[in-house]
Amino acid sequence: MEVNNTYQTPLSSRYASKEMAHLFSPAMRFRTWRKLWLNLAIAEKELGLPISDEAIEQMGKNLNLDAAQFELAAKEEKKRRHDVMAHVHTFGSVAPAAAGIIHLGATSCYVTDNADLIFLKEALTLVLAKLAVVIDRLSSFAKQYRDLPTLGFTHFQPAQLTTVGKRCTLWIQELLWDLRNVKRARDDLGFRGVKGTTGTQASFLALFDGDHDKVEALDKRVTELLGFSYAYPVTSQTYSRKIDVDVLAPLASFGATAHKIATDLRLLANLKEMEEPFEADQIGSSAMAYKRNPMRSERICSLSRHLMVLHQNALMTSGVQWFERTLDDSANRRITLPEAFLTADIVLTTLQNVSEGLVVYPKVIARRISQELPFMATENIIMAVVKAGGDRQEAHEKIRVLSHQAARVVKEEGGENDLIARVKADPYFDGIKAQLDALLDPRSFVGRAPEQVDKFIDEWVKPALDQEEFKKELQIATKAELHV
């Protein structure tokens, strides 16, 4: 097949959802251009320009391109060396009554930039919906394991205990910030509107014989017809490329969140405490049959790094725009903007798949706790001795000696931590031996972790997800929809 002889980006051919891939497809792009031309003509007609009903009708009936239209547009572009004018002529071929007024008064950026803003707005909406689902799934996991003690790590060295659910809330909190940031970026998006070649609206002022009010009304009406609440008050030929910076920033920030979550899961998989889904027939290694590699989490990390660096691209492009515009942004943005959203989409889909199939191994977790908890419990043991009438300094010295002996067994002999056995064998601790089991209960070392999980979900997660735009997505999203 020809498709196998031509490079295709794995973002669309291998990973991304149909919805996101279609949004940035040629079919959607050129249909949106035609919709922009149609609505410009409608607004111009409403404000008194001589545009016929037949022209509007023919344009409205031919928004979608068939194979013949794509072929004709390709031929026109080869001849004219200008993609927008190629499509103006192609549109006119199926809407002949409108051929003379298509693109009237507009510059190329009327369709290219306004279309990009439409795509950015819709793409951010798709990202928001998927983010909400991931947050919902991880919240269910956090509630399920709200009170399961697990060893905490600082510097990836054993620290005080936490719970599996509490650790998960750390991931969710960052995702909530991502949800907030993406929503802000989407809701803040404006429209380039009808601004002319250098943003002065001179061509439209000429069309309306110097009537400034009609030019302003045209800008406002087209903005409304395309579903935006406002247009940017001033632009050059393009909308400011700083808008791309503001849109890609929350995506890059989400990439950092996803990378952190997936890295934690990869480390936990090595510890055998938790792992991502692993199908019955899945192969972890072509050579080592026993391997259960965390390939989904590794994919998340891999793509998240790509997502994070794309923001730098937008910053560089924004900083080198000369005066009213330069064209060295065009080819760059054709790659950067779709890739950012396709990548975010893939990461979210994979993260949802992982979050819906996380496997926890409580016995492994308990065993690791048993290796470290005796050392953590030494202060509790000392306090118990003092309460029973003992001397604090004497108890401290007894525990110090026994702890070092136990540590030597673990580190030099590769044995188990036998500190508690040593305490039980020492007559000095006879007065508190009946309390040892209670003093070593892992649940007494997790502080308010379970309560923090409950409060966090009730006061932060539920209100964030209790928005109308997320409810449908949360209802229909299921494991069956994901093929990762």
Cα distance between residue 165 and residue 454, in whole Å: 10
Do the beta carbons of residue 457 and residue 143 sit within 8 Å? yes
The pLDDT of residue 291 is 52
- Percent share of the chain, pLDDT over 70: 95
Which residue in 32, 64, 60 sits closest to 45, CA to CA?
60
**480 confidence band (pLDDT: 50, 70, 90):** very low
**449 confidence band (pLDDT: 50, 70, 90):** very high
**111 confidence band (pLDDT: 50, 70, 90):** very high
Domain spans of the chain, in order of start: 16-104, 109-146+161-361+455-467, 378-439
Cα distance between residue 194 and residue 215, in whole Å: 8
424-459 CB burial, b ≥16 within 10 A, e <16: eeeeebeebeebbeebbebeebbeebbebbeebbee
- End-to-end distance of the chain based on CA atoms, in angstroms? 24
Q: Is the pLDDT of residue 297 over 60?
A: yes
Which residue in 106, 89, 103, 90 sits closest to 51, CA to CA?
103
Say which of 13, 140, 285, 302 is annotated catalytic. 285
Identify the bridge partners of residue 161 per DSSP, sorted by sequence position. 151
CA of residue 55 relative to chain centroid, distance: 43
What is the pLDDT averaged over residues 55-78?
95
Least reliable range by pLDDT among 295-304, 314-323, 419-428? 419-428
Chain segment 183-198, per-residue pLDDT in tens: 999 999 999 999 999 9
- More confident of the two residues 101 and 469: 101
- More confident of the two residues 1 and 395: 395
For residue 288, the SS3 value is: coil
Beta carbons within 10 angstroms of residue 282's beta carbon: 10
Q: Is the pLDDT of residue 1 over 60?
A: no
Per-residue H/E/C for 8-40: CCHHHHHHCCHHHHHHCCHHHHHHHHHHHHHHH
What is the pLDDT averaged over residues 45-53?
97
The pLDDT of residue 289 is 45
pTM of the shown model: 0.89
Least reliable range by pLDDT among 10-14, 98-102, 222-226? 10-14
Instruction: Write out the two tokens for 421.
Output: 């056995």
Q: How many residues are there in the chain?
A: 484
Q: Left if phi > 0, otherwise alpha if psi is -120 to 50, otherwise beta: which for 65?
A: beta
Chain segment 207-218, per-residue pLDDT in tens: 999 999 999 999
The pLDDT of residue 53 is 97
The pLDDT of residue 265 is 97
The pLDDT of residue 419 is 86
The pLDDT of residue 194 is 97
Q: What is the CATH code of the structural domain delimited by 109-146+161-361+455-467?
A: 1.20.200.10
The pLDDT of residue 479 is 45
Cα distance between residue 192 and residue 336, in whole Å: 20
Q: Considering only CA atoms, give the Rg of the chain.
A: 31
Cα distance between residue 425 and residue 365, in whole Å: 27
The DSSP call for residue 483 is -
Q: Left if phi > 0, otherwise alpha if psi is -120 to 50, otherwise beta: which for 406?
A: alpha
311 is catalytic: no
**433 confidence band (pLDDT: 50, 70, 90):** confident
Over the chain, what is the mean pLDDT? 92
Do the beta carbons of residue 224 and residue 290 sit within 8 Å? no
Q: Is the pLDDT of residue 61 over 70?
A: yes
139 is catalytic: no
**144 confidence band (pLDDT: 50, 70, 90):** very high
| Domain 378-439 CATH class label | mainly alpha
Do the beta carbons of residue 55 and residue 97 sit within 8 Å? yes
Identify the bridge partners of residue 149 per DSSP, sorted by sequence position. 163
Which residue in 98, 112, 10, 119 sits closest to 49, CA to CA?
98
What is the pLDDT averaged over residues 338-357?
96
For residue 154, the SS3 value is: strand
**444 confidence band (pLDDT: 50, 70, 90):** confident
Q: Which class for 103: exposed (0-12), middle (13-18), buried (19 or more C-beta within 10 A)?
A: buried
Q: Which class for 466: exposed (0-12), middle (13-18), buried (19 or more C-beta within 10 A)?
A: exposed
Q: Is the pLDDT of residue 348 over 60?
A: yes
The pLDDT of residue 74 is 94
Least reliable range by pLDDT among 105-119, 185-199, 333-347, 362-376? 362-376
Cα distance between residue 86 and residue 101, in whole Å: 15
Determine whether domain 16-104 maps to CATH 3.30.70.2190.
no
Q: Is the pLDDT of residue 432 over 70?
A: yes
**266 confidence band (pLDDT: 50, 70, 90):** very high
Chain segment 70-100, per-residue pLDDT in tens: 999 999 999 988 999 999 999 999 999 999 9
Q: Is the pLDDT of residue 469 over 70?
A: yes
The pLDDT of residue 284 is 52
- More confident of the two residues 5 and 285: 5
Please state the φ and ψ torsions of residue 332, each to the nearest 5 degrees. Answer: -60, -50
Chain segment 373-413, per-residue pLDDT in tens: 888 888 888 888 899 899 999 999 988 999 899 889 888 99
Instruction: Write out the two tokens for 33.
Output: 């251009």
